[in-house]
Every structure is written in C-alpha cells, then in structure tokens.
Chain A
Amino acid sequence: MLTLLHPRNGTVRLLAGLAAAGFAVTLGLAVSSESAGALAAPGGAATALGRLTGLLGTYLMLIAVVLVARLPGLERAIGQHRLVRWHRRLAPWPLFLIAAHGTLITVGYAQAAQTGAPHQLGLLLTSYPGVLAATAGFGLLAMAGITSYRRARAKMRHETWWAVHLYVYLGLALSFSHQLSTGAAFIAQPAARVWWIAIWLTTAGVVLVYRIGLPVWRSLYHRLRVVAVRREGPGVVSLELEGHRLDRLAVAGGQFLQWRFLRPGLWWQAHPYSLSALPTSSHLRVTVKDLGDHSSELARLLPGTRVAIEGPYGAFTQHARARDAVLLVGAGVGVTPLRALLEDLPAHVDVEVLLRASAEEELVLEHEVTELVERRGGRLHRLVGPRSAVQLDRASLRRLVPDVAERDVYICGPDGFSSTVERAARASGTPRAQVHREAFAL
C-alpha cells in the first residue's frame, strides 16, 4: 500500500513557512531603520548589530515559547515530544542573541559618546527607561537556560526546574517596555510598532488560552476525582478516575495528560502520565510507575481526591499511522499508552506487540494486552530477562517481526531503550516517518 500523504507534513510546512516569514519581517524592520550614515559613525556598526540581535533574539524567543504553548494544532500535527525537542534546540540561540544585544548596544553607545563601556552600562541602567527591568528580565531568562543544561538539570528536582522556567514569562514581560520606548526600529514607524505588538499579543494570548484558560475550563467541566488506586506490579499503580462527560474529552489512544492532584503538597505540580485505557463517558485510568517522589505519593492518594488536567497531548496515536500494519514496542510501564492505542486502532489494522521487561512481574497490564491482541488476531512477543540476556538488535527484531519495514513502529520506554529499538527498526528498512516514539518521563 502506498504511504498515505501525511496531512501533518502540510501543516508543519505551513507553520514553518509562517515562522520564517515572521523572521523575515523582523529582519526587514531591523535593516530598514538603519542608514549608511549611522553605520559609518563611531559605534554605528556595533549599535546596528546590537539592534539586529535584539530584534531577532526576541522573535526567536517568542517562537520558542509558542512551540511549547500546547497549541492543539501543533500538538496534533507534530507531537509534544518533537515540539519539546525543537524548543530545547532553539531556545539557547535567542539567549545568546539577547546577550550579544546587550553587549553590542553598550559598546556601540559608548563609542558614540566617547566614553567607557562600564560608564555607558551605568547610564543605560539608570537613565534609559525600561532597561533596568529588561536586564533583570534577561537574568530570569538566563536562569531558565542554565538550569536546562543537561548537567545542571540532572542535579535538580523536576519541580525546581519547572518553577525556574515559569519565571521566563515574567522575564519576557519585564523586557517588553524598553523595546518600544527605546527601540530605534519602532520610533516613528507605526507599522513596525503594530507588527511588534501583534506578535507579542499573539504569544501572550496563546499562552493564556492554551496553557491556562483551556486546562482550567476542562478541569472545572470534567470534575475528575480519584475513585480507586490499584497496584499493578512492583512500584506500579493504576488510578481509576471518575468525571463528568468524559466522552467530550477528545482523546486518542496513546495520548497523555498533565495531572495535578489537588491535595496539600501535590496541587502545585503537574506531571505527565499516559492514559492506560480509552476513557468511557464516566471513567478513565492512568497507570504510573514510581519514578520519583511524586509518583510514590500517588499510591497513597485517597479516593475522592480532586484532579485538574491539562491535555490530552501527544501525537503518539493511530493518526500518525502510515500503514495498515503496526508493531507496538513497550518496555516496562511504557506499555500504558500502547494498551490504550491497541483499543483505538481500527479493526483491520494488523498488530504485533513486543513487551520488554527485566522480570515477569514487571510486565504490567499483560493480561489486558494479551486479551486485546488475541481478540484482533495479532501476535504478542515477550522479551523478559536482564539486558545482557535479551538482545534487541536488527537481527533479533527481524527474526521476531520479519515484515517490520512494512509497519508503523510505535515505541514507548526509557530513552536508551527507545533509541535501540529505533535503530534496529531503521536498520531493518523501516522508513523514518513510520517510527513513532513517546518518552514516558518528559
């Protein structure tokens, strides 16, 4: 069967085109406000470069915010996993550009006034409206950047990192006023002002609506509460939740939500967990492994605890499928989104499932998966044992699933595991577009 034309590729191209057009407009603004005379003057080159880096850095920073603003269209077309990866790759650049902006402007102005850079810096901070606030704002952005470096982040609790990241919004807000009040590109250029205000308002609107408004509305509407907590395996629990009109929660099998358990000590942090079954109109279920201090608290949740949600998110769904045959690969608790995906796949889709665990009791939800696979005439493979005993390379994958190249491969597990499986599948001839991954700890 021919690979279906992915509607999502069209969306991605359109959005990338829009972002590039915005970049070009911003670049145009920066260039049009310069003149040959000003460039030739003392400090002119540094000042012009300083403006350019400031405008482009800010534009890219707004793009980085929008990438993770949970826009439903973006989430469906691209998937949160990839969006977060793009955000991580992009975000350092605006930080470098904005740091260069501050340095170049200081140096350029100092040259023009024939004064020293430290003196000029003092003048900028004390007598230029909004510059002090913007500098403080940049400090907040830089903190978010530094704490996101792999090494720093590894030493930090997820909650701390998240709280520092929240300050990005404050940092951006603090930087806004000096842009319009002292930005040369905006003085006496009404069109430029309109463009700049428009992209800021759009970004702010997107964040307010999709990161705050929609989740709050959904939480209030669905009124989820915990009704049961069940142990599934070592450190793994399923939470059964009850809610109002869950059929209206447009969720596809394989998606996850951010969960916020409204209980002292837990209410302020949200964590991503996949649904381990498709919701009914009144109930849904998540299955969670004890990966840190948060998930171990969940085993002690009392029935009746209210729950706020953000989502559903993720493109790890049957809509990403290009073929009518799939291979679902899950390691340990990574089986949870696959379990929901199994329910959601159309009846005609041929299914192979590969479950990996280091011990039998870690094959969580195995009975449910077995039943679902049998009912649709699929095949289930179990790979149980220590990593040294169980190989997962190209040869073993082809022995288990000879036609893996003709299948969509869905992988959920720890990063290292997923990468191994992805490499084996790609080496066996599975096209990149047919490999779909979900990390269970984002």
Chain B
Amino acid sequence: MVRRAPIVLAATVAGVAAVLGYHPHARPLPSAGVQAPAASAPASSGAGTARRLTGSDAPNKYGDVQVQVTTSGGRITRVAAVRLPGADGRSQQISSYAGPQLAQQALAAQSANIDGVSGATYTSESYRASLQSALDQLPAPTAAQASG
C-alpha cells in the first residue's frame, strides 16, 4: 500500500485536474428565430414595408428575455429572441427548446396571446411581455388599414 501510494496520489491529482479543468463549452444560445414560410407570407403590396421591432427586456429569476419581431404589411413575418436565460446549464437547455417553440406560437397567433411552453413558465411569461412591448410599437392597426 505504501509503495502504491505515490501512484494513487498522482492518479488522484490528475483525475481531479481533468474533472475541474473541464469547462462546459458554453453552447451558443439558439437564435430561436422563426420565420414565416414565404408562401404563407402575404404578398407584400408595396404599402407594407418590413419593420423590425425590438421588445423591452423582460427579466425573471433565471435571466432576461428580449424578443425581436419583424413585420410586413401589418403581419408578423419573423420572431426571434435576442436574449434568453442562459446563466446556468438548466436555463440554457430550457431556452434551447422553449425559444423556438415560443417563436412558432407567436407566428401562429400573430399576437402576444400565446400558450407558452410547459416546464418553461418563467421564460414563457417574459417572452409574452417582451413580445407585447414590441408589438405595442406598431401603429394602431385600424388606423393603418383605414389609410391603406
């Protein structure tokens, strides 16, 4: 045992160094952007110029959510999160699948009235808030249609 001690100690030090030295590669946050398929997008009729609107930063206890919306002719054509919670491993993973789902929901609903993703309650709530604040920047739809 005594003769084996140096080998065991060396292996221990090497093992600990390897385990502690390993830094999880910070996975890039998913762009989590979803674009409306070209076919379903309304043929832009000149009047509808594309606008990019950025929502406010909506914080929750796991991190911040900020959503960017692209509209064209009064319709939402693209939704993307520019910020999603990612400070810890769990938040990163949740963001990686909740982000695209939330964007998809927003595109389908054409509003901030989305169901959210179960198991990602905080992220969904912040997403809704930021999305709403982006859409609030659009001119009132009735006014837009009246003038068009």
Q: Which A residues lie at the B interface, using CB under 8 A?
A: 35, 37-38, 40-44, 109, 112-114, 123-124, 126-129, 131-133, 136, 157, 159-160, 163, 167, 170, 174, 181-182, 184, 187-188, 265, 268
Known contacts: A187-B88, A188-B61. The answer to whether A127 contacts B93 by CB under 8 A is yes
Asked whether, in the complex, the Cβ of B93 is within 8 Å of the Cβ of A109, the reply is yes
Binds A, one of B14-22, B43-51, B64-72, B140-148: B14-22
Task: Give 6 closest A-B pairs by Cβ, nearest first.
Answer: A128-B89, A41-B119, A188-B61, A41-B118, A112-B119, A127-B24
Please report the C-alpha to C-alpha distance between residue A41 and residue B101 in the assembled complex, in whole angstroms: 15
Please, how many angstroms separate the alpha-carbon atoms of A44 and B23 in the complex? 28
Which one, B1-9, B76-84, B107-115, B127-135, is touching chain A?
B1-9
In the bound complex, CA of A282 to CA of B19 (Å): 49
| A42–B5 CB distance below 8 A | no
Cβ 8 A contact of B119, one of A38, A132, A174:
A38
- List, in ascending order, chain B residues with CB within 8 A of A181's CB: 88-89
B1-42, CB < 8 A from A: 1-2, 5, 8, 12, 15-16, 19-20, 22-25, 27
User: What residues on B are CB-neighbors of A113 within 8 Å?
Assistant: 93-94, 96-97
Which single residue of chain A is at the shortest CB-CB distance from B96? A113
- Is B92 on the interface with A (CB-CB < 8 A)? yes
- Contact, CB under 8 Å: A128 / B90: yes
Contact between chains at A136 and B94 (CB < 8 Å): no
* Given A133-B20, A187-B62, CB of A112 within 8 Å of CB of B94: yes
A-B contact count (CB 8 A): 77
Among B92, B118, B119, the one with the most A-chain Cβ atoms within 10 Å of its Cβ is: B119
In angstroms, Cα B88 to Cα A182, docked, is 6
CB distance from B15 to the nearest CB of A (A): 7
Verify B19–A136 contact, CB threshold 8 A. yes
Is the interface on chain B under 10, 10 to 19, 20 to 34, or 35 or more residues?
20 to 34
* Contact of A129 with B16 at beta-carbon distance under 8 Å, contacts A181-B88, A188-B61, A265-B2 already known: no
- Chain A to chain B contacts (Cβ below 8 Å), 6 pairs: A38-B121, A109-B93, A126-B25, A136-B15, A170-B16, A187-B88
Contact yes or no, A44 B119, CB < 8 A: yes
Chain A residues lying within 8 Å of B15, measured Cβ to Cβ, are: 136
**Out of B2, B23, B90, B118, which one reaches A182, CB within 8 Å?**
B90
Residue numbers in B under 8 Å from A114 (CB-CB): 97
Q: Choose among B1, B61, B89, B97 the residue that contacts A129 (Cβ–Cβ < 8 A).
A: B89
Contact between B19 and A127, CB atoms less than 8 A apart: no
Q: Would B19 and A42 count as touching, CB distance under 8 A?
A: no
Q: Indicate the member of B27, B89, B92 with the most A CB atoms within 10 Å.
A: B89
Q: A44 contacts which chain B residues (CB < 8 A)?
A: 118-119
CB-CB < 8 A to A38: which residues of B? 119, 121
Taken together as a complex, chains A and B put the C-alpha atoms of A37 and B16 apart, in Å, by 39
Chain A CB within 10 A, most for which of B23, B93, B97: B93
In the complex, which residues of chain B have a beta carbon less than 8 angstroms from the beta carbon of A37? 118, 121
A135's closest neighbor in chain B, by CB? B19
Instruction: Determine if A268 and B88 form an interchain contact, defined as CB atoms under 8 angstroms apart.
Output: no
Residues of A within 8 A of B94 (CB): 112-113
Nearest chain A CB to B121 CB, angstrom units: 5
Closest residue of chain B to A160 (Cβ to Cβ) is B1
Once A123-B93, A163-B1 are accepted as A-B contacts, the answer to whether A133 and B19 lie under 8 Å apart by CB is yes
Q: Tell me the complex Cα distance, A265–B96, Å.
A: 56
Closest residue of chain B to A137 (Cβ to Cβ) is B19
Among residues of B, the one whose C-beta sits closest to the C-beta of A35 is: B121
Known: A109-B93, A127-B25, A182-B89. 14 other contacts (CB 8 A): A37-B121, A40-B118, A41-B120, A43-B119, A109-B90, A127-B27, A128-B90, A131-B89, A132-B19, A136-B15, A160-B1, A170-B16, A174-B19, A187-B61
A170 to B22, CA, bound (A): 17
Distance in Å: Cβ of A57 to nearest Cβ of chain B: 19
Q: How far is the CA of A181 from the CA of B23 in the complex (A)?
A: 13
